[in-house]
Amino acid sequence: MAITPTSGTISPLQAWTINAQAADASYFSTQNHRLVLANGLLEHPEHAISQAILQKFARITPQYPGLRAPLDPVVCRAWLQILGPLLDQWFDAPGTRWEMQAWYSLVTTPPGDLLPIQRLPHVDGTDPRQIAMMLYLHRTGHGGTAFFRHRSTGLEALTGADYPRYAAALQDDVAKSGLPPAAYTTDGAPHFERIHTVPGDFNSAVFYRGNILHSGVIDNNTPLSADPREGRLTINAFFRPAE
């Protein structure tokens, strides 16, 4: 997608040009979870916002506390040509053929209306091969993404083998001390502890394994708008090895 236009205008696809070659990889926690941060991912981030305004956002799942709209599959295919080889390199998966799904996302649910499941850190699945991406396209008082450890089990990431033990322990936690109050999680108390935070700077993207416990950093005292120009707009994507 790194195409140089021959005139003063660019094509719709060129407006989605990405540059992740200078991304920085790092690790956090004693379990060495890998993060890759790409600052300035989009060459034209305002174009992405202008396209988000045109979408029909809707509630898709009960887990996500807001609205989503699918990203154009043509854009996904173009991004995957660039990101696929980089994911191989970043996450030690040489030769993987990746599949990608992506959505515009807006957190809109007021803290007091959150369901119990929305007050806790979550995982995107238990397959450690699945990679998540969060691209932050907002300039609000809300933040990026935080990562957590479950206190009673010590788990920071969940596999299919871990999940039954984790679910039983969390149920026991809630039975003993109750659910967290109706608010977005901050430090994770009482059942979790926050172990790392990505600030979520405008037009930065973070890539991580989707089975790590995480949550969006939402300021419970800052309004949540459904307008993509004013709300906590992100593009979130999942990359899975093709079967």
HEC assignment per residue over 19-66: CCCCCEEEEECCCCEEEEEECCCECCHHHHHHHHHCCCCECCCCCCCE
12 — pLDDT class (breaks 50, 70, 90): confident
Q: Can you say whether residue 96 is alpha, beta or left, with left for phi > 0 and alpha for psi between -120 and 50 degrees?
A: beta
Angle at 183 between CA 164 and CA 120, to 5 degrees: 15
Statement: residue 93 has pLDDT above 90: yes
Residue ranges of domains in the chain, CATH in brackets: 24-241 (2.60.120)
> In degrees, to the nearest 5, what angle opens at C-alpha 147 toward C-alphas 146 and 151?
130
Model pLDDT, residue 173: 97
* pLDDT at residue 4 tops 70: no
Q: Give residue 64's region: left, alpha or beta (phi > 0; psi -120 to 50).
A: beta
User: Over 80: is that where the pLDDT of 1 sits?
Assistant: no
Mean pLDDT of the chain: 94
State the pLDDT at residue 170: 98
Q: How confident is the model at residue 61 (pLDDT cuts 50, 70, 90)?
A: confident
pLDDT of residue 10: 78
Query: What DSSP letter does each residue of 165-221 carry, written as one string?
Result: HHHHHHHHHHHHH-PPPSS--SS-TTTEEEEEEE---TT-EEEEETTB-EEE---TT
Q: Is the pLDDT of residue 44 over 50?
A: yes
Cβ burial, residue 187 (10 Å; 0-12/13-18/19+): exposed
Model pLDDT for residues 165-194, shown as the tens digit of each residue: 999 999 999 999 999 999 999 999 999 999
pLDDT in tens, 125-171: 999 999 999 999 999 999 999 999 999 999 999 999 999 999 999 99
